[in-house]
Amino acid sequence: MGITNDIMFITNSITNQINTNISDEVEKLLKTIFINNRTSVIETNSYTKDLYKLIIYFSKSNPNASIKIMSGFIKFGKSNTGKQYKPMIDYFMMESVDLLLNECGWSIIKPLLNMIRENIKKLQKDSTFNYISNKIIKQINEDRTSVKIVQEQEQEQPEPISNLCYYMPREKSFTFGWYSYYIACKLYGNKHYYNQSIKKTDIRHYLMNYRKMINELCCNIVIMKPDEDNKTVHAEIVHAETVHAEIVHAETVHAETVHAETLHIDLNYSDLQTEFNKPHYKRVNEIIETVLPIEEVPTEGVPTEGVPTEGVPIEEVPIEEVPTEGVPTEEVPIEEVPTEVSLTPPKEEEVIIKNENKWFSGWFSGWM
């Protein structure tokens, strides 16, 4: 019950906004599950599933809490005791990125990348950082292609693009500006800012093109709005400042609603299990079961007491006899095989006679 209580402590601390270092608590709990725990494989898998599902559980109400839980996983993976589990943790984190992007949209990239930067010293070697960056670059290229098609074909109907451009960093941003250097060098120079030596003039050139690209995408953002009849929708280009104000307002209202709904709530483990059994967590189960080992069925040490081994009636199967009377038996002659073999070669006269007979018979048949 100790691990269960720890999981509920983390859950209720986040729910009731108790000042607790969630990242450290998750790291300690993972060490208990994988290193210090003496439970079976099935129980270990169950505890890991519950802890991992908390990332999705809080993704809507408190995305920052989900990121703190992910931070605990990353800390455990890079620790001395958890290094052997790092490939598994990396896989969990990359799958978590997809789940959070699906739940929260592109707004999650800023706190997510900042969290990785705080925990990882060498970003160029971190698989989760590279995974997120590749997804961002792919989406930016798709949006740029859509805008280019509209400009070249002069379409009246604007092409919808993602709202990623509103969440991309500006280089002067104090909290997120560091990422603009990386993404600009990657987009326009195909160079890794943290892994290669790049000239300052080239960096300034990349950043200038990056700013132009972000501004262009922001001016072509498309929002599908309903018509007056509320039955049809139309695409409308919205000014960047308007969309940014709407995003800030929505986030403020959402934070206030979450704060009002999550005060003084104490969940128990059964309530959490009821939530985790919903179809919404099916993908999480698949992720965990892909990596964690399956407990083997024990073959030794199985008790045999009480199983009757004597006195069990065995039914005899009658064997039919094949009739032998009246069946004719034909004797097969057996040729006698000479037991003595002469090792002396035949005489020369016998060989000559045999050869003459062969010649004569062949000549006679040809004449006939």
- Whole-angstrom CA distances from 20 to 1, 5, 14, 25, 28 are 21, 15, 8, 8, 13
Highest mean pLDDT among 198-207, 251-260, 301-310, 354-363: 198-207
Do the beta carbons of residue 35 and residue 80 sit within 8 Å?
no
Maximum average pLDDT range among 10-14, 16-20, 326-330, 351-355: 10-14
What is the SS3 assignment for 5?
A: helix
Ranges 21-25, 88-92, 344-348: which has the least confidence: 344-348
H or E segment at 2? helix 2-15
Whose CA is closest to 198, among 29, 207, 81? 207
Judged against a pLDDT cut of 60, whether residue 304 lies above it is answered with no
Cβ contacts of residue 114 below 8 Å, gap of 6+?
175, 176
DSSP state of 234: E
Q: What is the pLDDT of residues 132-186, one digit of tens each?
A: 999 999 999 999 888 887 777 766 556 678 899 999 999 889 999 999 999 999 9
Query: What CA–CA distance (Å, rounded) separates 214 from 42?
Result: 49
How many angstroms separate the CA atoms of 157 and 147, rounded? 11
| pTM, 2 dp | 0.69
Under 8 Å between Cβ of 100 and 63: yes
pLDDT higher for 360 or 309?
309
Q: Give the single-character DSSP code of 311.
A: S
- Domain ranges across the chain: 2-120+264-291
Q: Give the closest residue to 147 by CA, choosing from 163, 159, 165, 135.
A: 159
Cα 100 to Cα 22, 103, 111, 140, 142: the distances in Å are 18, 5, 12, 19, 21
